[in-house]
Chain A
Amino acid sequence: MNFYKSLRSKACIGALLALTVPLNSCEDYLDKAPQADITEKDAFGNFLSFQGFVEEMYNCIMDPNKGGAWNAYLFADETLNNYPYAFDQGNYWGNSGYFFGQTVNTRDNNSRTKRIWEYAWYALRKANLALEKIDEPDLFEGTEEEKNHIKGQAHFFRGWFYFELCRYWGGMPYIDKVLTPTEEMTTEEFKRLTFQETAIKMAQDFRAAADLLPNHWDLSGPGQRTQGHNRDRFNKFHALGYMGKALLYAASPMINEEAKGSNTFDPELAKQAAEAFGELLTLADQTGIYSLQSWDNWTDNFWRWNNERPGGTECIMVPVIFDRGRVRWSTVGATVPSSFAMNSGTNADVPAHSFTKNYGMANGLPLDDPESGYNPNDPWAGRDPRFYRDIAVDGDKIHSAAGPDQFAQLYNGGYHRTTINPPSVTGYYAKRYSPIGPDWSNSRADGLQAYVPYLRLADIYLMYAEAVNFSTGGGPKAKSSNYSLTAEEALNKVRNRAQLPDISTKYTASKEIFFEELIRERAVELAFEGARFCDLRRWNLNGDPRFLDKTAIDFDRGPDGKPVNIRERVIITRTAEKKHNWLPIQVNFTRMFKDFPQNPGW
């Protein structure tokens, strides 16, 4: 009892002592564990750490065709599958493993967790934070060149992620500061802009980036630490290329119509675009850092064996390689015959017959030209050399091993057309990223590296030609003020590389006729690269009746192996109306305030 009493009195004293401790110290007790903090000085204090802060944004770049086990990434008229694509039916709500629906995780080395929407907004905040911190007094310590590298990348990223968002969803509020959590964000200050207005702001960011970034990191002081490993780090070419691209999009008819009501190219913006491309091409000619791949190694732009990096000297920007093992599954899986035992057996994404008609003849003429020599009864003879590198047709040797898969049997009733599941529904396979052919084997395919380029020099030449054609005083024979090639010559650069002759004079008679050939050239040279969906929309041609039907080719194999009884069959007529200019924004984001509305028609 005594013991208990004494214990109790001690407890009393303890409690009284505790009561007299000022509240401050209680609050301090609950302060965050000091080790839990990384200070701003740690993160932004020098180039080593700050470049680490910046580089997380590289891991926010979507790899377009590796967003799922397999995912659709072509949303226009290029391919068909053995089930209908929602986009062909006009349902643009789906994310298709590409657009949205993931939580940002930049550290999992997994392309399948990347999406445009979430990662772009995340990276944009980060770019703004980088631009704020680099100029904060007494924070960053480093050389002027290091500072410029950081700022240049941040400006590029801000422009680039806006471009990625806006080319699908249209104009957005251009956030150029770090938003604080207590700030009111549902106000008119943050209203959605038109694409054109947003693109002009992107162009300013790309201009700033071009002025700050080196020609190549291998040639700059801060880049020496990563000498030989700088291909993906942004340089002046990235910035100029995307500056031109953003301006060319802004100049395009659909976007100009949205902004100014005129379904034509804006000549002034087209001129600015042409000059950005002209500056890039001049720099490429002067420095030799980027040049077109030769025809012999054209496919190095897209794929290489033995885990070698594709891209060559032509690709300026390619997706970051999160996990090179994804190529074999995500890229190859659904585009080679399902009998190759390389996929889950649920997808077979194959070229539409209608799309293959963009590939002209070896003489450079389109199929519908009376002088082209195209024979509808022998449709695969004498075509553009790129046809044979991109498209597998009936009778082609597509596998090295003997067996039913060695030769493509794509006639009606043939092994790859009917027997296997899923079959090719159109009578073709695409080879641009899955190079099935005489040397294909599944073990080789394990070491295949194939990536859809974001920006390459051939695209620059073609965009230059388009921009010059529609500039003030432009046309096929015009050139930009800062580059020596005419629009026609720039187009020929790309055609000649593919072993085609110069464009026939009958197609350079006017801007409009020349443009038709540009449309076709972009379809072929940039086939399966995802350019088509954006091109058709920005040109206001997504709903053009010529591009709506997706067809298959039905035929029997004749005694000489040639196709006979050829019939073209429409599988689906795409639904593309005015509202399909832009994707719908997820509904919840459009209900937050009136100045962030849904896109028209959705």
Chain B
Amino acid sequence: MYQFQLNYARQFGDHNVTAMGLAKREEYAKGSMFKNFREDWVFRGTYDYKTKYLFEVNGAYNGSEQFGPGYRFDFFPSVGLGWVISNESFFKAGVFDHFKLRYSVGKVGDDNISGARWLYASQLAFGGQARLGEQTNGTSPYSFYRESVVGNPDIHWETALKANYGIELGFWQNALNVNIDIYNEERTDILMTGAQRNVPPFFGATPPSANLGRVKSKGFEIEVNFNKQLNAFWRLWGNASFSRNTNKIIFRDDAPLLYDYQKQAGYPIGQTRSQISAGFYNNWDEVYASVPTENNDLQKLPGYYNLVDFNGDGVIKADDSAPVGYSGIPQNTGTFTLGADLKGLSFSVQFYGVANVNRVIPFNNYLNNTDILFGHARDYWSKDNPNASSFLPRWKTPGENAGNYFVYDASFLRLRNAEIAYSFDRSEHLKKKNISNMRIFLNGTNLFFWSKLPDDREGTYDGGGATTGAYPTMRRINLGIDFSF
């Protein structure tokens, strides 16, 4: 890697000016990979007048090896404006003593797509042999050549245009701060991998990545900080924040013949979809009167869920899977922290919560013909228990028609941390022993969890299955002493 950087900073009376320019070429490689190349030209200029009016402009001219000739470089500018109203002479500072407005708008680029390289170029690869030989473990002397990548000559930068509005308020010499940020973003030319595209199977290769997606998102964040020494003994501090993020897919190369409710366009990224249940079949009459299912219709029993024929075609099948609830990423998140110090004694709690989120956790009874039942089956349907919360478990029979049973409201509130501690830092006795501080504490993480989820996992990876994914969150309680020398 090498780079040139140019810095400039100067004050002309009330005018402050800075400028920076940077040109960079970067190469890196790890393991046996071919070197990655990147070239960036970046500049920034800032100006402010009496720290009242702030102005900033950035530009980046980025080049990426991902794209073909003619598409490698693109220009990504941004502009920022600020007005510190509380520095104006007409602003009468009282209890309310800090007031600033911010606005920025900019364009950013992305060239990264799941580790793939040289998206524009088709590539051949070498290696491997067929298992052809008279011995049952023999191999052929001929080594494979294969078309490893089919490139897209037209691929180019993904861009996002993002605008941000900010308000900063301060009270009592910043003992109380309130920050509000509102943003909206539009991503265009989103790089989509070939597997996500509407390319028929007979293409015969992983289709090349292409600039196809378009997503709009918006959100806001409010943060309130409080920190005040009340008197010689007491200090109180706290922090609360709340953010909300929503997005909507505008275009995602959906298959044109999909039902609109099964297209990604028009819905948030990761929208949960499921067949929908409308209560149990409580008796054979209801079973016979129900809409037939495409598969396992003869396996239906009272005690299963009557599914909704969402598209009204008279058959329950995959087409009846419709948007349900939210995605797996919470729309609303919030934290709340409160602390107090009284001389050496300190106390704090931190809460964390999310809302507007769903997760699918299919705890299927007797999965793979094992004799495992999950906790939800305790209150199972029976003739005498028609208002059960769970359906009838069945051994070695398919077609339980669970509908959206396993779509859980994944909102939760968690007491993430709590601590009580005492510091002996003022003790003369310790100082004599060269101990500058001794602190005794009792704290815990993940002490309480309120949710409708069947288990305490903040997320799952690997497709989010019930049997895969993240380890459940641990509850931990510590009692300890810290010494500082």
Contact = CB atoms under 8 A, between A and B. Distances in A.
A125 B146 contact: no
B426 interface: no
B482 to A, nearest CB: 44
A231 to B, nearest CB: 7
Interface in B272-297: 294-296
Interface in A39-57: 39-40, 42-44, 48-53, 55-56
A59 B139 CA distance: 11
A48 B142 contact: yes
Contacts of A33: 34-35
Interface string B186-201: 0000000000001111
A49 B145 contact: yes
Contact of A229 (B7, B121, B134, B137): B134
B131 A59 contact: yes
Contact of B200 (A190, A321, A346): A190
Interface in A15-50: 15, 18-19, 23, 26-27, 29-33, 35-40, 42-44, 48-50
A370 interface: no
B130 interface: yes
Contact of A55 (B23, B65, B129, B201): B129
Nearest to B202: A175
A181 B208 contact: yes
Interface stretch (A204-212, A495-503, A592-600): A592-600
A589 B200 contact: yes
Interface stretch (B150-158, B161-169, B326-334, B468-476): B150-158
Interface stretch (B102-110, B252-260, B433-441, B447-455): B252-260
A225 B69 contact: no
Interface stretch (A89-97, A352-360, A412-420, A475-483): A89-97
A309 B134 contact: yes
Nearest to A129: B147
A225 B133 CA distance: 12
A575 B420 CA distance: 68
Contacts of A121: 201-204
A56 B132 contact: no
B144 A55 contact: yes
Contact of B153 (A11, A58, A182): A182
B21 A15 contact: yes
B135 A29 contact: no
Given A8-B6, A56-B144, A58-B132, A173 B202 contact: yes
Given A32-B118, A91-B296, A592 B124 contact: no
A226 interface: yes
Contacts of A11: 4-6
Interface string A79-116: 00001101001110100000000000011010000000
B200 A186 contact: yes
A568 interface: no
B318 interface: yes
B100 to A, nearest CB: 33
A83 B367 CA distance: 13
A52 B35 contact: no
A238 interface: no
Interface string A298-336: 000000000111000000000011101000000000000
A233 interface: yes
A40 to B, nearest CB: 7
B133 A229 contact: yes
Interface residues of B, number: 76
Nearest to B22: A15
A117 B25 contact: no
Nearest to A596: B200
Contacts of B229: none
B336 to A, nearest CB: 44
B145 A43 contact: yes
Contacts of B34: 32-33, 35-36
A113 to B, nearest CB: 13
Contacts of B141: 225-226
B67 to A, nearest CB: 8
A590 interface: yes
Contacts of A186: 198, 200, 256
B72 interface: yes
A426 B158 CA distance: 61
Contacts of B138: 229
Chain B contact surface mostly: loop
Contacts of B63: 26-27, 29-30
Contacts of A36: 34, 118, 123
A602 B199 CA distance: 22
Contact of A42 (B37, B121, B124, B368): B124
A59 B130 contact: yes
Nearest to B297: A90
B132 A55 contact: yes
A396 interface: no
A89 B298 contact: yes
A505 interface: no
A522 B127 CA distance: 41
B65 A31 contact: yes
A129 B398 CA distance: 43
A175 B143 CA distance: 26
A185 interface: yes
A308 B135 CA distance: 7
A381 interface: no
Contact of B295 (A49, A89, A122, A592): A89
Interface in A405-443: none
Contact of B199 (A42, A185, A307): A185
A449 interface: yes
B202 to A, nearest CB: 5
A503 B138 CA distance: 42
Contacts of A44: 145
Contacts of A593: 200, 256-257
A14 interface: yes
B299 A309 contact: no
A589 B141 CA distance: 38
A591 interface: yes
A308 B216 CA distance: 63
A226 B141 CA distance: 8
A117 to B, nearest CB: 7
A185 B73 contact: no
A593 to B, nearest CB: 7
Contact of B150 (A55, A181, A190): A181
B128 interface: yes
A15 B7 CA distance: 12
A23 B63 CA distance: 10
Nearest to A227: B134
A519 B126 CA distance: 47
Given A179-B203, A181-B151, A592-B255, A23 B132 contact: no
A161 B398 CA distance: 32
Given A11-B5, A43-B145, A56-B144, A321 B126 contact: no
Q: In the A-B complex, list the 6 residue pairs whose CB atoms are closest, starting with the nearest.
A: A125-B204, A107-B128, A591-B255, A43-B145, A52-B142, A55-B130
Interface of A: 8, 11-12, 14-15, 18-19, 23, 26-27, 29-33, 35-40, 42-44, 48-53, 55-56, 58-59, 83-84, 86, 89-91, 93, 106-107, 109, 117, 121-122, 124-126, 128-129, 172-173, 175, 179, 181-182, 185-186, 190, 225-226, 228-233, 307-309, 320-322, 324, 346, 449, 575, 587-594, 596, 602
Interface of B: 4-7, 21, 23, 25, 34-35, 37-39, 63-65, 69-70, 72-73, 118, 121, 123-138, 140-147, 150-154, 198-205, 207-208, 255-258, 294-296, 298-299, 318-319, 368-369, 396-398
9 contacts: A11-B4, A19-B23, A52-B145, A121-B203, A124-B204, A126-B146, A181-B208, A186-B200, A320-B130
Given A52-B144, A185-B202, A229-B134, 19 more contacts: A18-B4, A27-B63, A30-B38, A36-B118, A53-B144, A55-B144, A59-B131, A91-B295, A93-B295, A181-B150, A182-B154, A185-B203, A307-B136, A320-B130, A346-B369, A592-B198, A592-B257, A593-B256, A593-B257
